[in-house]
Structure 1
């Protein structure tokens, strides 16, 4: 039996698993990895320039928000696909989706650290970012619970991920303790980071220690991105070695097609915006907030007249 029925048969273990280049293809994986690397680099540049108070880096800001918006939407999308297909998708592909969602989370949070003052000045951008962060966190935690159950029950690698709730445990693997501890830590970290990010995003003050939070946060997100990237490269057929027992059949996930090229082509769109900025067709005003040591004035206050935090006109937050 090479494929699963639509209901997800958990009593018969298939001999093989069909490849899924849409989830684990080379182009898909590279698009997430490249976007994460570029976003972390741009975030680091913006934070560093903010520490030196040399420039507001309008070009880097525009590029960063473009890459971040693209990454968080694709991250939510690929997690939704995994959950919808959980009756047919095996744990191998589901695990790759979870790792890609971690790259999406790292990209989103790095953008938040670097551009928090930009979001504070516009309540629409602020609450849109909050909504997408909530959806991404919920899907990430839900996917993490599936992965945790897979490790705890040592699910047969050729069964659908949905079977993890119905099959009996096959015992524990030799590395089960480390895998369980790591998965729980990542799930807990996602919740903690969401709460901290929410407070950070809606804070009306800008104390001096905020710069330290940006630096430490970027270092942690860099480690998260490196870890997720390394794991994706190691376990994927596109770049590494598939875990034992999966037995993939069908077109190789290393093969390139238009479907694999498209995610990489979409990375060109933010670069087009960069050309527009450089040519002066789009004017990006200087961000004066990052040059200030503290947020001294709020909406309706006295001073420079710069609106540092724009409240939501509906309920004032």
Structure 2
């Protein structure tokens, strides 16, 4: 059971949370996203400049596995962050939002590379569409909370739940602590990020559900560059803000986020799970459907 937040006293510091911003979490998330983005780029470049060659089954399987991990991690992190809003501080809340943007960009890049595979089965296609919508909805909620916090210039050690509390303490005097309301550029940037997520979701939905797509190669190449830019921006922002690799904008009471504990290493070990499937494919124990050609008509595509 979560107790209501204490919004009457501003703590001088806040405890660290290695489960959100620990070194192991950041390394595993960024490394998984990097591998998935490189795999997506390699498949898109191969299909663009070597259309006669057959895409690697191993790369497609690895990419699908890592992409699924990313979107599920993004949804889980955001859900837990909202559930703990009465205790979590804006510093950790913002890092969760950036990690969710990283997972969203990684999944959208995978969608660009494996759209024909996803269209093979309508059940899996709509299941993926549902996960994309849940991730978008949670990301929009985070964006609204971050935007409200920036508008009020909330004190960094206060719980996120206090942003909506009526009559709560709003922070010390600007003359005493030197913290002021975020600038207009930062405020506008948050709004643009929220709107951009909605636009990208709409384009991704069209790309996934449309039967006949125009400018297919251009959409793939431009979309891949855009997703890489979003992923790099989110990862750099997190690393610069985190205690483990950068300088946090809030006073933390301990150095727990710099240590690699068992929970942090577990995320790194999870990256090895797709390798087991690769070994099974190589040995012939698991069969993977061959990729569909991009220029195949709907009548030529197999039902399963």
| TM-score exceeds 0.5 | yes
1:69-90 deviation per Cα after TM superposition (whole angstroms, max 9, x unaligned): 1111111000001100011110
1:217-252 deviation per Cα after TM superposition (whole angstroms, max 9, x unaligned): 010010101101111110101111111xx2212352
After TM superposition, the structure 1 = structure 2 runs for residues 233-244 of structure 1, keeping only pairs within 5 Å, are: 233-243=239-249
Which residue pairs with 1:226 in the alignment? Answer: 232
Unpaired segments of 5 or more residues in structure 1? Answer: 311-317
Q: Tell me how far 1:279 sits from its aligned partner.
A: 3.1
After TM superposition, the structure 1 = structure 2 runs for residues 73-152 of structure 1, keeping only pairs within 5 Å, are: 73-152=72-151
Q: Tell me how far 1:284 sits from its aligned partner.
A: 2.4
Are the equivalent residues in 1 in contact too, given 2:85–2:160 (CA < 8 A)?
A: yes
- Which of the residues 164, 173, 184 maps onto 1:177? 184
What SS does structure 2 have at the residue aligned with 1:216?
A: helix
Are the equivalent residues in 2 in contact too, given 1:8–1:162 (CA < 8 A)?
A: yes
Would the alpha carbon gap of residues 189 and 168 (structure 1) be closer, same or farther in structure 2, given more than 3 Å must change?
farther
TM-score (norm 1): 0.88
Q: Tell me how far 1:168 sits from its aligned partner.
A: 7.1
Which residue pairs with 2:13 in the alignment? Answer: 16
Are the equivalent residues in 1 in contact too, given 2:117–2:292 (CA < 8 A)?
A: no
After TM superposition, the structure 1 = structure 2 runs for residues 190-229 of structure 1, keeping only pairs within 5 Å, are: 190-207=197-214, 209-229=215-235
Are the equivalent residues in 2 in contact too, given 1:88–1:160 (CA < 8 A)?
A: yes
Which residue pairs with 2:156 in the alignment? Answer: 157
Which has the higher mean CA deviation after the structures are superposed, 270-279 or 213-222? 270-279
Relative contact order (C-alpha < 8 Å, sep 6+): which is higher?
2
Which residue pairs with 1:285 in the alignment? Answer: 289
Are the equivalent residues in 2 in contact too, given 1:153–1:168 (CA < 8 A)?
A: no
TM-score (norm 2): 0.91
**Take 2:196 and 2:151, find their aligned partners in 1: how far apart are those partners?**
20
